[in-house]
Chains A and B, each alone.
Chain A
Amino acid sequence: MGVSTICPTPAPPAMTLENLFEFPEGRRILTCLQCGMCAGTCPYGDVMDFPPRRIIAMLRAGMLEKVFESESLLACVACYACMAKCPRDIRLTEVLLPLMKEQALLHMPELPGELQKALQNTLRYGNPLGESARKRAAWVKTAGVPVRIFQEDPAPADILWFVECYTSYYPRGQDCSRATARLFHALGVDFAILGNEEKCAGECGRLTWEPGLFETLMDYNMAVFQKYRFRRLVTSCPHAYNAFKNRYTSAGFGYELDHATPFLGRHLDRLRPLLSRRLEAKVTYHDPCCLGRQNEFYDAPRNLLKAIPGVKLVEMTHNRVNSICCGGGGGGMWLDTYFKSRGMERLSERRVKEAAATGADVLAVSCPYEISRFEDALKVLGFDKQLRVRDVTELLAESMEG
């Protein structure tokens, strides 16, 4: 009895707001010039009572209670724009804002319902959608190619493919997983997945409000990794990539790491001869925050797209480091109703307007959040006839057919 989801192991000593200045990343806040680049580049800086620049000023003046009582931090979509532009390299998105949000969560009388549900679901079912943990690998039956699940066949594999949540459950995300499986198969990659043993990597938990949720998921996933033998972890989700690269290392994560798009980019020479079908499409590529700004994979997805016969790549006004967030990061995925109730423009809508303005037929993405966000936004704005959303892997797999 009493099987527990929540692991009670003590967390390693972590940075808190109280001990912030004992860490080099924290002390860096003292060097802030108050130049306002962060507030200016923040996609919701105009609607925040306290944009990042003011938060730093108030932190230094010891006036934080006001920030916690405001709703400013709910509007942070963890897009890394402020951090990318900061001339002093202050780790805003990585360090300061998560600590602030953690405190805001404790102060907030009520969390927006969808965000609360997503956090509770992620703890209980290992995915924010609230789907059964036992159905996480159900999509595999429709993959069309063999997908090995470690639990069923624990022989060592070269690559552990960490599929992640939306790519496991959301129907359009599953399309992306089926495409990835077919690409891996065609390239002869020796891979296996964790199947129903996998749980969300937890990146949005950490960047959102919930270090405890993140640590619980990290402890869990690390324990599962140790059951199997593999050399490299490849994930379909830039958020998971980010979590493994920057946070799981504190729990001993030492595997080679890749996101599926740059991984395929490195195998482009072998992939190119397989891309036989012309797609005849004008494609614009959206840089996901965690893959682009945070990890600087700008060229790999573009090179993959250009390798598809018939694809003409066009750029949106804001691209690469200036890419506009889809609004799904840092918990924004579950705050659309809240944003709408505050009269805020959905960032996904702001983004697809730019995409439509390029005259492209396809909006290419490489983050599982973006498929649902952009498809919804296209429908809301009436662009869904002229513009399709496709993951880079979907386009590659489409070109491989026939």
Chain B
Amino acid sequence: MNLLVLLKMVPDVVEELDIASGGAGLDMDVARMALSESDDHALEQALLLKERMGGTVAVLAVDAAEVDDALFTALAKGADRALKVDAGGVSQAGTRALADLLARVIADGHNLLPVDLILTGTQAIDDLDGLVAPLVAHQLGLPYLGIVTEVTPEPAGKVASVVKEYSGGVRGRFEVDLPAVLGIQSAERPPRYVPVAKVRAAMKTQRIETVEAPTLADGGMALAEVKSMSKPEEAGRAEMIEGTPESASARLCGILADRGLV
């Protein structure tokens, strides 16, 4: 079974985020980049499927700060190939351009086809669009399912049974023809730990294939652009209760009683 995982680097929210001087985006000079959490789950699911059914896992990402660490980590975990698209900032250009770029790289040779399953995180925190997977699927003419929490390909590899989550804990089971594109919400188990020594070994013995960016439709122009971005406003409605535990808890009880909450 040939599996392809699309990985994306997103701003690390452990670090403080700042608005760039133009006011229409994050200050990427101070942001640190980390692998999107749901993409990490997509990779875990792909590795589990490989272990279960045999085959190969390739990972594909657009160049970004610290992406090499993420790709070598994927190789150390058991991925067979890692490809990095040198796209000169196209990842900033919006979901549509990113999906166009990934779909073209997949279709343009690089030995990524034939593929049985393309997995990626269902949504990334940098845009919350959740559109990369469906747009890639559309461009490649493949079926798509998102918010997926379980994937079981039939042994023959023609169809897969897929569980998708809905609101309120409702789950739907689907049968999807392969190849297909899936947006992974969470893998069957948490992403595995890989010893750093293995990552260091991967850095020495394996390589990342660099792929030139293909020419995109509309030159990768975004159809919608951010006009302004702002941090949450401080409303100043919070009251900090000072004092000893006894006086603070008395004051807290008073507030709750005044509001009719207790």
Contacts and interface: CB of A to CB of B under 8 A. Distances in A.
Is the pairing of A and B real?
A: yes
Given A6-B200, A10-B204, A212-B195, A131 B190 contact: no
B34 A110 contact: no
Contacts, number: 72
A6 B197 contact: no
Interface residues of A, number: 33
Contact of B65 (A3, A8, A110): A3
Contact of B14 (A6, A11, A123, A132): A132
Contact of A111 (B15, B67, B193, B198): B193
Contact of B69 (A4, A125, A134): A4
A11 to B, nearest CB: 7
A205 to B, nearest CB: 8
Contacts of A7: 200
Nearest to B84: A2
Interface in A85-122: 102, 105-106, 110-111, 113, 116, 119-120
B63 interface: yes
A212 B204 contact: no
B66 interface: yes
A8 B196 contact: no
A1 B64 contact: yes
B16 interface: yes
A3 B200 contact: no
Nearest to A2: B68
Interface in A322-373: none
User: What bracket does the count of chain B residues touching chain A fall in?
Assistant: 20 to 34
A19 to B, nearest CB: 15
Contacts of A131: 14
Nearest to A121: B14
A110 B190 contact: yes
B16 A1 contact: no
Given A8-B203, A10-B204, A134-B16, A2 B66 contact: yes
Contacts of A8: 200, 203-204
B72 interface: yes
A246 interface: no
A125 B34 CA distance: 11
A1 B69 CA distance: 11
B52 interface: no
B65 A212 contact: no
Contacts of B199: 6, 212
B198 A212 contact: yes
B203 A1 contact: no
A130 interface: yes
Contacts of B196: 6, 123, 210, 212-213, 215-216
B195 A3 contact: no
B73 to A, nearest CB: 8
Interface of B: 14-16, 34, 63-69, 72, 189-190, 192-193, 195-200, 203-204
Given A2-B67, A123-B196, A213-B196, 17 more contacts: A1-B65, A1-B67, A2-B69, A3-B65, A4-B66, A5-B69, A10-B204, A102-B195, A110-B189, A111-B193, A113-B190, A124-B34, A209-B195, A212-B197, A212-B199, A215-B197, A216-B200
